[in-house]
Structure 1
Amino acid sequence: MSWHAGIPALRTSVGGVKFNPDADLDTSGVEDTRGSGGGGRSGLPGGMIPVGGGIGGIILLVVILLLTGGLPGGGGSDEPVTQNTAAGNLGSCKKGTDLQSNSDCRFVFYQNSIESFWAAELPRRGKKYTRAPLRVFDGSVNTGCGPATSAVGPFYCPPDKRVYLDIGFFETLQNDLGARGGEFAEAYVVAHEYGHHIQNLYGILDRIKTRNGPASDSVRSELQADCLAGIWTNHATTVPNSSGQPLITELTEDDIARGLDAAASVGDDRIQSKTQGQVTPESFSHGTAEQRMKWFKAGMDSGDMTACDTWSADSL
């Protein structure tokens, strides 16, 4: 999955993803509201019951909402989401070389690459692609699904078709969930959320009726989003920007290992073992560590959406 064209690559850390320094970046799909103070009242959307505070509470909240399609639709605010496109310091990310002065520009790379891939792939399959902005926030945020805080982790909101991310979550991923971390772990998380956007465009999220259990609709949805993230991974080093330039020039075996590790770290069994000391499959909502790696790898190995039918799979 390497793309070799003699382009000197930029990394934001030793051994990290190689980004193309000559690439033009498009910030029109990134909304950076950090520092705007526009989060509104804190709390969980959709009338969700908050879990107790502390690290355990944060992890359990992540279990509920991390990498899900699901802040529940209905129960969200009817107020339109205020636009703040390309605000904050991500608005200055115009060229690949801007990574040298602002490492957060890597999130613009992720967003540009993931959306560029799906914007080309879906029409090839006869489906119109609708953009989903990546909204980066700090502390709290208003969404089409209602107000949310950083404690809920990254999420996709179907009513307003946005991916929401507090970058500070990745410290939680490493420090509290035991992931190795790294840039491709971040890219996996963002790609997973966009996987839920693809599901939304196909009407798949409407099929979720059962939210708990080892073979529940919720688990099947999560594993499919992992698979869709894997599909983008397969094509990541060949995805061009609007000028035809590759955005990511190389993914190493270590990058892929970090993505798989991130997928495993948010497995239901791993998190339940950490927070409860035991595993209760009846309460699964995301799938086990093994399943998450399996389906991410299925998409990555095939690069094709037909490999991601978790809904008819007898064995997950």
Structure 2
Amino acid sequence: MQFDDDKPLDPSQVEDVRASGPRPGGGFGRMPGGCMLPIGGKGGGCLLLILAVAAMFLFGILPTPFTGDPGEQGDPGVQGGGRQPSAPATGNLAERCRTGADADQSEDCRVVGTVNSIQDYWKGQISGYRPAKTVLFTRAVRTGCGAADSAVGPFYCPADRKVYLDLTFFDTLQRDFGAKGGPFAQAYVIAHEYGHHVQNLLGAMDKVGRDNRPGANSPSVRLELQADCYAGVWARNAVKTGFYEKPFTSAEIAEALDAADAVGDDSIQRRSQGRVTPDAFTHGTSEQRERWFSTGYESGDPNRCDTFSGRI
């Protein structure tokens, strides 16, 4: 991934709240009103606890809005047990992440450049596109959908239209899930989350509604596979946004496919429980994850990402 050194970055699209993370020794606390639909875990119910126990913590969606006042819940250790900062703590990113040259040198700035490129692409595809910020956090965070911790991996919250990301997830992806990692594996994860934002804007999430029932043919699987396809579509068109000097190489695309393989429902279940249980699928098999990303990448056309019709 080689950024155009002279391309201006827009760090305002990324909020950095890592300095206001949980107090040392603080726990996660309860998750009022927010149930997780992660990309590699079981479906139904408040999935945060299920995922933590099953070690199936991966990027996905936090769909149920949290309607209470975070300052009144008293959850220890989550953003200090109080409200999030009223203003984004992006000053440091604004100083450090100014051009594509900075994105080539810094992981934080690479996230900024990746987010900028993804949103630039979708802005040209969706009339009235509304940007979604990425929030960088450490250990735990409060969102418009509820409280969450790093164990759930990167996720998108439809209620506040933000992507949440703890960068230590990518070490976990390699160490615990066997992915090879790499900068483009990171870009794939971020692009997948913005795929959920696109689904939110286009009404796909409303179509699925609150049907979080698991299963190999479930709406949640179809939703996640479409987000994978959208990630591939962006990858094919990324150089057209002007943020990258040249199209991604086959080796870089292989990083995304390897990450998709590592987070398939079947791969995670074999690793965590020694058997595959299709009735518990929520995000698709490794083969499906790779195939739908490839469908998006090879076509470069979001219209080819209809995972809601026919077989998947």
TM-score bucket of the superposed structures, by smaller chain: 0.7 to 0.9
Query: Which residue does the alignment assign to 2:277?
Result: 280
CA gap 1:77/1:187 in 2 versus in 1, 3 angstroms: farther
Query: Which residue does the alignment assign to 1:235?
Result: 237
Query: Which residue does the alignment assign to 1:249?
Result: 246
Deviation at residue 237 of structure 1 after TM alignment: 1.3
Query: Which residue does the alignment assign to 2:73?
Result: none
Residues 60-209 of structure 1 mapped to structure 2, 5 A cutoff: 60=56, 62=57, 66-68=58-60, 70-77=61-68, 82-85=85-88, 87=90, 89-91=92-94, 92-99=96-103, 102-123=106-127, 128-208=128-208, 209=211
CA gap 1:83/1:229 in 2 versus in 1, 3 angstroms: farther
Query: Which residue does the alignment assign to 2:264?
Result: 267
Q: Do the aligned residues in 1 keep the contact of 2:191 with 2:231 (CA within 8 Å)?
A: yes
Moved more, 27-36 or 279-288: 27-36
> Quick one: distance in 2 between partners of 1:72 and 1:304?
26
> Quick one: distance in 1 between partners of 2:276 and 2:192?
24
> Quick one: distance in 1 between partners of 2:213 and 2:91?
36
Q: Do the aligned residues in 2 keep the contact of 1:34 with 1:136 (CA within 8 Å)?
A: yes
Deviations 1:154-198 (A, max 9, x none): 000000000000000000111001111000000000000000000
Q: Do the aligned residues in 1 keep the contact of 2:18 with 2:137 (CA within 8 Å)?
A: yes
Gaps of 5+ in 2: 36-45, 71-82
Moved more, 86-95 or 203-212: 86-95
Deviation at residue 82 of structure 1 after TM alignment: 4.3
Deviation at residue 88 of structure 1 after TM alignment: 6.0
- Number of matched residues? 283
Gaps of 5+ in 1: 1-16, 241-245
Q: Do the aligned residues in 2 keep the contact of 1:210 with 1:217 (CA within 8 Å)?
A: yes
Query: Which residue does the alignment assign to 1:11?
Result: none
Q: TM-score, normalised by structure 1?
A: 0.83
Aligned-pair identity in percent equals 48
RMSD (Å), alpha carbons: 2.3
Q: Do the aligned residues in 1 keep the contact of 2:16 with 2:136 (CA within 8 Å)?
A: yes
> Quick one: distance in 2 between partners of 1:190 and 1:116?
14
SS at match of 1:163: strand
CA gap 1:99/1:195 in 2 versus in 1, 3 angstroms: closer
Q: Do the aligned residues in 1 keep the contact of 2:21 with 2:137 (CA within 8 Å)?
A: no
Aligned letter for 1:227?
C
